[in-house]
Amino acid sequence: MNATEVMPPQATPTSTPRVTIATTWLDGCSGCHMSFLDMDQRLVDLADKIDIVYSPLVDAKSLPEQVDVGILEGSISNEEDLHKAKEFRKHCKVLISLGDCAVNGNVPAMRNPFKLSDVFERAYHDNVDLNPQIPTQGVPSLLPVVRPIHGVVDVDVFVPGCPPQADAIFHILSELIAGRVPDPSAVTRFGA
């Protein structure tokens, strides 16, 4: 990715150019999205420059055909995660892996040393206090191995942290809005 690939956002002669942003959470705890909201007052400042066109944080639930910046939280643990990651890659010009789960698998990937059948056995059969029925209806199938986002699609910007602090998210979005390639290593790190 280079700076000219990041932006500029789509503009019309009669409107202020805005960067369109889509976000979603995959296998994570939603803490990275909570950190996004922790930008607080700065969200108001950003509101003049961005449009959140798809996100669990807003009502829009249909991913537009073209989006400037896609932000994915969480890792790829099931078929639905896989589908969403591919859709974001297809429709987003710049794709951001937000948080350690997205960047390296983090907590969800702790099941990787074990066979999926052993994970189910431990979760549903070894604990008699839980419903012993393994759900098969209405839930996406788990994948045998949890993968980070870049394990299934190309990622442009990696933002580690659990979660990345609001200051770091603001910095990265501001850089992208300004048409620059952000350097997340300057503002966040794994486990921060």
Supply the minimum distance, in Å, between the C-beta of residue 65 and ligand SF4: 27
Give residue 166's identity as a one-letter amino acid code.
Answer: A
Q: Identify the burial level of 172 via C-beta atoms within 10 angstroms of its C-beta, where 0-12 means exposed, 13-18 middle and 19 or more buried.
A: buried
Q: Is 162 an interacting residue with respect to ligand SF4 (CB under 6 A)?
A: yes
**Cβ closest to ligand SF4, residue 71 vs residue 177:** 71
- Strands 67-73 and 19-25 come out as parallel
Supply the minimum distance, in Å, between the C-beta of residue 163 and ligand SF4: 4
Token pair belonging to 166: 């609001």
Prior bond to 17 cis, omega within 30? no
Which run of H or of E encompasses 147? strand 142-147
Which residues inside 10-29 make contact with ligand SF4, applying CB under 6 A? 28-29
Taking alpha carbons only, the member of 87, 10, 92, 80 closest to residue 49 is 10
Taking alpha carbons only, the member of 91, 71, 92, 89 closest to residue 26 is 71
Site map for ligand SF4, 78-117, x if CB under 6 A? Answer: ---------------------xxx----xx----------
Which residues inside 163-182 make contact with ligand SF4, applying CB under 6 A? 163
Supply the minimum distance, in Å, between the C-beta of residue 95 and ligand SF4: 16
Supply the minimum distance, in Å, between the C-beta of residue 118 and ligand SF4: 23
Supply the minimum distance, in Å, between the C-beta of residue 103 and ligand SF4: 8
Q: Is 184 an interacting residue with respect to ligand SF4 (CB under 6 A)?
A: no
**Cβ closest to ligand SF4, residue 28 vs residue 182:** 28
